[in-house]
Amino acid sequence: MAQVDTPITRTTEDFLAPARIALRGVGQIMFQGHAGTGLFFLAGIAMTSPAMLAGAVLGAVIGPLFAHLAGYDRRDVEQGLYGFNSTLVGLALPALLLPSHPLTWAADVVGCVLATIITRLGIRFLRFPAYTAPFVVSTWLLLLAIHGAMGHSIDAPAPPPAVEEGGFWAAVLRGESEVMLGANQMSGVLFLVGIAISNPWHAAMAFLGSLVGTTVGVYHGDPEADVSIGLFGYNGALAAIALFLPRPSLTLPLLAAVISTPLTEYFPKELGIPALTAPFVAASWIMLAALWAERRLFVARD
Amino acid sequence: MAQVDTPITRTTEDFLAPARIALRGVGQIMFQGHAGTGLFFLAGIAMTSPAMLAGAVLGAVIGPLFAHLAGYDRRDVEQGLYGFNSTLVGLALPALLLPSHPLTWAADVVGCVLATIITRLGIRFLRFPAYTAPFVVSTWLLLLAIHGAMGHSIDAPAPPPAVEEGGFWAAVLRGESEVMLGANQMSGVLFLVGIAISNPWHAAMAFLGSLVGTTVGVYHGDPEADVSIGLFGYNGALAAIALFLPRPSLTLPLLAAVISTPLTEYFPKELGIPALTAPFVAASWIMLAALWAERRLFVARD
Amino acid sequence: MAQVDTPITRTTEDFLAPARIALRGVGQIMFQGHAGTGLFFLAGIAMTSPAMLAGAVLGAVIGPLFAHLAGYDRRDVEQGLYGFNSTLVGLALPALLLPSHPLTWAADVVGCVLATIITRLGIRFLRFPAYTAPFVVSTWLLLLAIHGAMGHSIDAPAPPPAVEEGGFWAAVLRGESEVMLGANQMSGVLFLVGIAISNPWHAAMAFLGSLVGTTVGVYHGDPEADVSIGLFGYNGALAAIALFLPRPSLTLPLLAAVISTPLTEYFPKELGIPALTAPFVAASWIMLAALWAERRLFVARD
């Protein structure tokens, strides 16, 4: 008895699929291939600035779309792996440059595509995760190009340094928010809840990572104005989840969060360019290298 | 052939039993259910102040007596588990309030009973050790009540801050002494010897804990006047023994001692109330939680 | 059929054997019983000062020669175990005292012999490695004797403190160079290459150890002039290799490097005598003791 193929019909599901992929890409900013997480993240970004929300949506669309057109691995596209770097570029440039200037948005589109291509190179050639390195590299290149061409004329004005209210725990929550270049507690809460609906352990790691990173910053006597906006939390939050992925534990994630703070502190100031999530990437790569060395080289020789 | 019950006779042993239980309670301040340890501790407390010795004896009697009358578990009473929090309250209030004022002693008796009740709640409802939390909570409540009613009029005058003599090792020994609110090296030595006759490993942990806590304080540039009186040693000493109990090792006890120092440093000053052993309790609970998480949640999933 | 003994002939090999043993002793300064390593080390020492090179060669000869004449274990002599402390004394005294003064060289010879005897005592009576303690003790004794007899009249003038060029990575390389009392990057590179031809893992540990020690120094806000000449690198480099030997891993070597920095910082300044490699020896002994305790005492009781 022959099996009858169901006729192909366009259902609501089909129309929603691209949106779901775009949202998964947003969720992947904090390692969640979950569209619901992406929605929470967009809500948190909206609380920071409408221009950044627009940029995030732009990036969330461009990344997977370009990857699809370029014929990158379908499963990777569907999991949002081509979305998160593009989304980060998308929201970062309108935060670092004047959103009112057309060049900002031209650069944004170019940056999103560039981040997607670099993401592809990472997946193809690296034997370890690139994390948000494609976002960092693309954004740096575009900022350097714009500074080279136009000086700092379209840079968004930096807020004057001031200690934010709310003390330690507010700084920890702002650390979550800073993952997407925000600095408000409510975004931080939305990000944590968004992660938790996908994976509560990862939410716990994000919280502990920001807690540890901020604690080290306070203990090292870093400027209160920097601590209070969550500057020593976001890299720790990301690094803690990143090191939780290869093996669920506390030791490696918390150690990664610890070393993210010196890396944030000593990010070379003379570059005149923001660190973005480079300290997270560096901390995680260092820990992965240590973990790899400990396992492959040393344990095997015992 | 029927077994003949020996007739009940009151021997010297029977008369000494209550004293032994009271002394075990004193010994339990540093985790030793050993009457000899308790004697050494009382000798060390006597070297600090006669009023504190009187308070300690008062507390050592009230705790087990109340527990006995209230019908708490007999074996717990006999092991001194209802003695140490009461003893600590007993010696702390005459150190923090004027020993010449009758209210000090009225508060002392109330505090000892309160600590015993809270100890019972901890044993009954917590699935982890309460450590000296009953002492901390009772003493804080009574101090707040007295300050509310009478202001700071019967507070014992705080000694003017000054660097004590003897350098690093003297500070480490004073760290032992500070467990019972003293600050002299000889008490510290007596405490260590008292622990050693019960369990030499625990004495080693108490020493290493104070050593590590003090080292971190020095390394972090804490005020010499605070370091020199052992302020960064006592929580480390207690935390090191506490984390040695679930599993004999060096790693967890020393790590607990390390984190006890920031907790001591950042104990909120604005409360206007002494930290007592709260940093020890916090450090140990954090380490227990981490140990529990690492074992139950993560190892099992591997 | 009887086996015919080959007649004894003096080959080139025989003439080179003593030189090879002397060079192995130089290599053992950083744990390599390898003559090629010794050659690289001598080249690196030569770049620092010709007087130190002369002293190093003197020490490299005296140590094994005295050990041979005194009838110490032949295999130990051949492995260079009686060479490295003597070589260090040999190069250190002409660095700390005026090389133009005859007493410097008389002291140097005495010191080399003394270090060799103490090395023998260590091998005979200690159940753990003495590391460079014989060098440290001999040099201290001779400096104290000379200061006692002649004051500081023949001390080599200390260079005025100044921040060396090249930033962090230069300081890390100078940390290798400081193992043999130099402070130039090229020596550091020669030392690393010399180790690598014997054991690339040990070279990696030497590099990481200096990196970690220097990082802790920077993070703790130590004087830039001290950091820049590698003062917080050399003990870490040595301690990292030392703790790699009992068990190949990253954790123990890096932890040993971490604690070498406070030990360097807090080496008692009032002694008026250089720390030499005492912080390395202390850090390694502490870690060995902890490792021993963790393994023998605690693991066995589980």
pLDDT for position B188: 97
Residue C117 lies in a domain: yes
C224 and C132 fall within a common domain: no
- Res B3 pLDDT > 80: no
The residue in chain C having the minimum alpha-carbon distance to the alpha carbon of residue A291 is C250
C166 and C119 fall within a common domain: no
Closest-CA distance, C174 to chain B, in angstroms, reads 25
Mean pLDDT of A247-266: 94
**Interface check C167 vs A, CB under 8 A:** no
A117 and A171 fall within a common domain: no
Task: Quote the percentage of chain B above a pLDDT of 90.
Answer: 83
Task: Quote the percentage of chain A above a pLDDT of 90.
Answer: 83
**Mean of all residue pLDDT scores within chain A:** 93
Digit-coded pLDDT (tens) for A269-280: 777 789 999 999
Q: ∠ CA C195-C198-C199 to the nearest 5 degrees?
A: 80
Closest-CA distance, B204 to chain C, in angstroms, reads 12
**Interface check A220 vs C, CB under 8 A:** yes
**Interface check A298 vs B, CB under 8 A:** no
At residue A302 the predicted structure's pLDDT band, cuts being 50, 70 and 90, is very low
A193 and A87 fall within a common domain: no
At residue A300 the predicted structure's pLDDT band, cuts being 50, 70 and 90, is low
Closest-CA distance, A249 to chain B, in angstroms, reads 5
The domain that contains C226 carries what CATH number? 1.10.3430.10
Contact C97, C104 (CB under 8 A): yes
* ipTM score: 0.84
A95 and A135 fall within a common domain: yes
Digit-coded pLDDT (tens) for A117-146: 999 999 999 999 999 999 999 999 999 999
pLDDT for position A1: 45
Q: According to DSSP H, which parts of chain A are helical? A: 12-27, 35-48, 50-69, 74-78, 84-96, 102-125, 133-150, 167-177, 185-198, 200-219, 224-228, 234-244, 251-265, 278-292
Residue C106 lies in a domain: yes
- Res C256 pLDDT > 90: yes
Whether residue C298 and residue B219 make contact (CB cut-off 8 A), yes or no, is: no
Closest-CA distance, A297 to chain B, in angstroms, reads 21
d(CA C189, CA A224): 40
A153 and A170 fall within a common domain: no
Q: A-contacting residues of C 89-118, CB under 8 Å?
A: none
**Interface check C249 vs A, CB under 8 A:** yes
**Interface check A249 vs B, CB under 8 A:** yes
pLDDT for position C302: 44
pLDDT for position A5: 53
Mean pLDDT of C275-285: 97
B90 and B216 fall within a common domain: no
Residue B11 lies in a domain: no
β-pair partners for A97: A155
- Res A222 pLDDT > 60: yes
Mean pLDDT of A215-240: 96
Q: Which of A158, A176, A207 is the endpoint of a domain?
A: A158
Whether residue A290 and residue C247 make contact (CB cut-off 8 A), yes or no, is: no
Q: Minimum mean pLDDT among B137-151, C108-122, C156-170: which range?
A: C156-170
Domain range holding A184? 160-302
DSSP string, B76-109: HHHTTTTTHHHHHHHHHHHHHB-TTSHHHHHHHH
Closest-CA distance, B245 to chain C, in angstroms, reads 12
Nearest by CB to A249, which of B262, B266, B294? B294
d(CA C233, CA C178): 8
Closest-CA distance, C42 to chain A, in angstroms, reads 31
Residue A4 lies in a domain: no
pLDDT for position B271: 78
Q: Which of C212, B254, C238 is nearest to A290 (CA)?
A: C212
Q: Which residue carries 């009574």 as its tokens?
A: B142
DSSP three-state, residue C15: helix
Task: Quote the percentage of chain A above a pLDDT of 70.
Answer: 94
- Res B164 pLDDT > 50: yes
B169 and B74 fall within a common domain: no
- Give, for B287, the enclosing helix (H) or strand (E): helix B278-292
Residues 6 or more apart whose Cβ sits within 8 Å of residue C75:
none
DSSP three-state, residue A128: coil
Whether residue A247 and residue B297 make contact (CB cut-off 8 A), yes or no, is: no
Mean pLDDT of B32-59: 97
Whether residue B298 and residue A215 make contact (CB cut-off 8 A), yes or no, is: no
Residue C3 lies in a domain: no
Whether residue B250 and residue C220 make contact (CB cut-off 8 A), yes or no, is: no
B133 and B220 fall within a common domain: no
- Res A106 pLDDT > 70: yes
A193 and A153 fall within a common domain: no
Residues of C in contact with A266 (CB under 8 A): 218
Residues of A in contact with C201 (CB under 8 A): 297
Nearest by CB to C290, which of B219, B247, B250? B250
d(CA C171, CA C173): 5
Question: Six-digit token pair at B200?
Answer: 């030499």
Residue A6 lies in a domain: no
Nearest by CB to A298, which of C215, C218, C249? C249
Digit-coded pLDDT (tens) for C192-242: 999 999 999 999 999 999 999 999 999 999 999 999 999 999 999 999 999
Residue A268 lies in a domain: yes
Whether residue B248 and residue C290 make contact (CB cut-off 8 A), yes or no, is: no
- Res B261 pLDDT > 50: yes
Whether residue B294 and residue A215 make contact (CB cut-off 8 A), yes or no, is: no
Residue C201 lies in a domain: yes
pLDDT for position C7: 53
**Interface check A250 vs B, CB under 8 A:** yes
- Res B234 pLDDT > 60: yes
**Interface check C214 vs A, CB under 8 A:** no
> How close are the terminal C-alpha atoms of chain B, in Å?
60
Contact B180, B234 (CB under 8 A): no
- Res B159 pLDDT > 90: no
**Interface check C270 vs B, CB under 8 A:** no
Residue C276 identity (one-letter amino acid) = L
Q: Which of B85, B37, B33 is nearest to B196 (CA)?
A: B37
The residue in chain C having the minimum alpha-carbon distance to the alpha carbon of residue B212 is C259
DSSP three-state, residue C97: strand
Q: Which residue has the higher pLDDT, B41 or B266?
A: B41
Q: Which of B110, B112, B97, B19 is nearest to B51 (CA)?
A: B97
Number of domains in chain C: 2
Q: Which of C158, C188, C216 is the endpoint of a domain?
A: C158
d(CA A31, CA A37): 10
Hey, of B172, B199, B219, which one would you mutate to test binding to chain C, going by the most C CBs within 10 A of its CB? B219
pLDDT for position B1: 45
B250 and B219 fall within a common domain: yes
DSSP three-state, residue B215: helix
Neighbouring subunits of C (3+ Cβ pairs under 8 A): A, B
Q: Which of C82, C60, C61 is nearest to C71 (CA)?
A: C82
B167 and B41 fall within a common domain: no
- Res A154 pLDDT > 80: yes
Question: Six-digit token pair at A75?
Answer: 């499963």
Digit-coded pLDDT (tens) for B82-130: 999 999 999 999 999 999 999 999 999 999 999 999 999 999 999 999 9
Whether residue B294 and residue A219 make contact (CB cut-off 8 A), yes or no, is: no
Question: Six-digit token pair at A68?
Answer: 């699809």
d(CA A37, CA A179): 14
Phi, psi of A244 (to 5 degrees): -80, -25
The residue in chain B having the minimum alpha-carbon distance to the alpha carbon of residue C295 is B249
d(CA A204, CA B112): 39
d(CA B45, CA B38): 10
**Interface check A262 vs C, CB under 8 A:** yes
Residues 6 or more apart whose Cβ sits within 8 Å of residue C36:
C23, C27, C194, C197, C198
pLDDT for position A295: 84
Closest-CA distance, B240 to chain C, in angstroms, reads 14
The residue in chain A having the minimum alpha-carbon distance to the alpha carbon of residue C253 is A294
Digit-coded pLDDT (tens) for B263-279: 999 888 777 789 999 99
Return the number of CB contacts < 8 Å for B and C: 18
Closest-CA distance, B79 to chain A, in angstroms, reads 35
Nearest by CB to C298, which of B215, B219, B249? B249
The pTM assigned to this predicted structure is: 0.88
d(CA C101, CA B173): 47
- Res B5 pLDDT > 80: no
Neighbouring subunits of B (3+ Cβ pairs under 8 A): A, C
Q: Which of A112, A138, A158 is the endpoint of a domain?
A: A158
- Res C130 pLDDT > 80: yes
Return the number of CB contacts < 8 Å for A and B: 18
Q: Which of B137, B183, B188 is nearest to B161 (CA)?
A: B183
**Interface check B247 vs C, CB under 8 A:** yes
**Interface check C2 vs B, CB under 8 A:** no
